[in-house]
Amino acid sequence: MRKHIILLLICIGIQAESQNINGKVLERISSDKFNPIIGANVYWENTNIGTVTDKNGLYSIQEAPSLPATLLVSFIGYEVSNMELIDEQYIFYLAPNLELEEVNINSKQKSSKFSTIGTLNVETLNTKEFEKAACCNLSESFETNATVDVVYNDAVSGAKKIRMLGLDGVYTQITQENLPLIRGLSSSYGLTFTPGPFVESIQIIKGVGSVINGFESFSGQINLEYFKPDCDESLYYNLYGNLEGKIENNLRLVKKNGKWKSNLLAHFSLNEKDIDNNDDGFLDMPHITNFNFLNRWKYENENVGLQFYARGFIEERIGGTIENNTNPYLVEINNKLIELSSKTGFRMPSKPGKSIGLQTSFRVHDFEATFGANEYNGLQKSAYLNLINQTFIKEEKNILKFGLSFYADKYGQDITKYNLANADTGIIALWYSQEIFSENRTDVMPGAFAEYFHRWGELISITSGFRADYYNITDEIYAIPRVNIKYNPNESTAIRISGGRALRNSNFISDNISLLASNREISFSENILPEIAWNYGLNLTHCFYLFDREGTFNVDFYRTDFENQIVVDIEDQGILTFTNLSDIPNHISFSNAFQIDFAYELFKRFDVKLAYKINNSKTSYLGGLTYDFSSLLETPLLPKNRALINLAYTNNAADWLFDATLNYIGKSRIPMHELIDAEYSDPFSLINCQITKKINNFDFYIGVENLLSYTQENPILDSYNPSSDKFDASLIWAPVMGRKIYLGLRYKLSN
């Protein structure tokens, strides 16, 4: 792989006085579509004058000290395909390529890729990856990815959640174009709030991320990039349906009017079919009605960039026992959310590298949930502001970003437990109710941050950051230091080391709302403290070519150590306890995650992706009826081992696509319950397959999820007596639904 991409530029007619040369570096996607190359090195040969491209692929470099001169563009795995001068800007067009012994080998765009360029350890998934599976919402966007695990909330809500680096998804910061997406009351069901067809790409940042984006990244950050108003696509429509009765519609529209551009993303889905394949008297999948929209407006000129977002979401889930059940149990979940966000950027053409940006987000989220006798009501009102200033220090390889942030969240939450009994008529009779949790809380967290990036030549780069945030509830200032270091021993290998601290305010009830799908007695510490942890990581990424075909090898090891954690104790049957880790003697909580990934084009147009992961997570528990005082136990329902095999084949005409994914899920520890005669679950495998046919602007696809139809035996404990102390629908480690066959179409119209 060549380290440099060289273009000889004979500078003629440049004025005698010193001036900057401006331009762009773009990736050529097709004959009329280009993406900006971020972080490409642009510099004059045999000088120390250079710069890097920004997020828009723009660069500004002072003129060469003598003429003629050679301008070098360095970006691993790409070569210059063309150059042109437009409005006094030198535009370089790059295309993926590798040069071995002076032979050009074109490389196709991968659906997922690991970066050797950036300081942070980032894995990027694009639309091609999402279209390998049904990808109905964000939680299902990771079915073909090994870094993020998709798991099940419970046996009655039909929702899924994620885990990353051996930790629950609440410890992963999830953002939309670096604005908050899932936090607060949306932690349990927020992944269903974003349809997969809304998303253009996802960046998975492992370990501590940037302090600029906040303090909440324990195990990493998942950042969504939506389809933009300036994309070439003017219309997209997706129709999906499965044999279980679910119908889904997705629409994307783009409108351009001068410097103003807009797009509308809309989603509607419906599922009203009664399914009880295991004959336990409960619906395997609740009835779901979901409406979702996102509207974005964008304005941009040479000095200012503006973006405004409006997002709305309404969902109703109704499940529980099937109609006419003699022991009825109702599950009803309602989410209503509206959000207004903006991004404003001010560029300073006279001061290259300097800019100011302001991000804002305002949200109202109404969340109601009923699980039998347990009724939850929650309301969240949030405001977020983030002011960012960027500048160079002496040289353009020294970048300083600093600014101020402000979080304000007002919560109202309560849980009421009803004692229900059957009257002689078979109608539910209300005997009494008890409020077991009530909270009205306002969190205010102003903060300041600074982040410094420095690059030593082509070998070493470091991003170090520090932020300080004040929390009004504890009246304390929390220090958040973070550092990411990258070393490139050669142009195809990156070694990264990272470390840092993270902080989050737990909404322990809404974070664990699925545990209300039981009759456990709930207790909690009076003084719930913020969760704090340190994360350390080591990464090796190597890109290689074997038999003229591209491959990637990636190894990660990450450890998370908690200073304080809200320990969720379900070890005693019928009891649910929330405790500060710091209140437990010999308090220890950690998670070790090791993962190895291998991707290779086994033969032409046939890609293989393999991954294996080992999780080792343990937490101290205060002690109870079934275990010793202050015991250190494995995290329940967390598989120790996971593996993934993904196969993808495309025919020569690229109009037939075949995809198959096998996920192996190892055994996990099961909390004690008298109706479960096992300490660990059995390992199992899930196989998903899909075939896609492309005809002009249409994609027709058919697929199957859970091909082997593996389901958890007896997922709802004591299902025929939902008022008993033994009833529990929250101890889930495997699918509730069996084989699912689906089909659909996509229509795409370009400008």
CATH class of segment(s) 5-104? mainly beta
Cβ 622 vs Cβ 630: under 8 Å:
yes
Residue 453 pLDDT greater than 50, yes or no: yes
What phi and psi, each to the nearest 5 degrees, are found at residue 429? Answer: -110, 135
**SS3 letters across 330-392:** EEEEEEEEEEEEEEEEEECCCCCCCEEEEEEEEEEEEEEEEECCEEEEEEEEEEEEEEEEEEE
One fold for both 5-104 and 222-337+358-750? Answer: no
- Checking if the pLDDT of 66 tops 70, the result is no
Element (H, E) at 741: strand 740-750
Q: Is the predicted pLDDT of residue 556 greater than 90, yes or no?
A: yes
Specify the amino acid at residue 44: W
Q: Give the mean pLDDT of 287-297.
A: 96
Task: Give the C-alpha separation, 598 to 465, whole Å.
Answer: 31
Q: Of 27-41, 274-288, 667-681, 731-745, where does mean pLDDT reach its minimum?
A: 27-41
Fold (CATH) for 222-337+358-750: Maltoporin; Chain A (2.40.170)
DSSP 669: B
Please state the rounded mean pLDDT for residues 436-442: 93
Query: In angstroms, rounded to a whole number, what is the distance separating the alpha carbons of residues 317 and 332?
Result: 6
pLDDT at 88 over 90: no
Q: What is the pLDDT of residues 658-700, one digit of tens each?
A: 999 999 999 999 999 999 999 999 999 999 999 999 999 999 9
What pLDDT band is residue 232 in, cutting at 50, 70 and 90?
confident
- pLDDT value for 245: 93
Q: Where are the domains of the chain?
A: 5-104, 222-337+358-750
Q: Which residue has the tokens 């008022």?
A: 723
Whole-prediction pTM value? 0.85
Share of the chain above pLDDT 90, in %: 65
Enter the tokens of residue 735: 């699918």
Residue type, 534: W
Residue 728 scores a pLDDT above 50: yes
Residue 259 φ/ψ region, left for φ over 0, alpha for ψ in the -120 to 50 degree band, beta for the rest? alpha
Model confidence over 145-190: pLDDT tens digits? Answer: 999 998 888 999 999 899 999 999 999 999 999 999 999 999 999 9
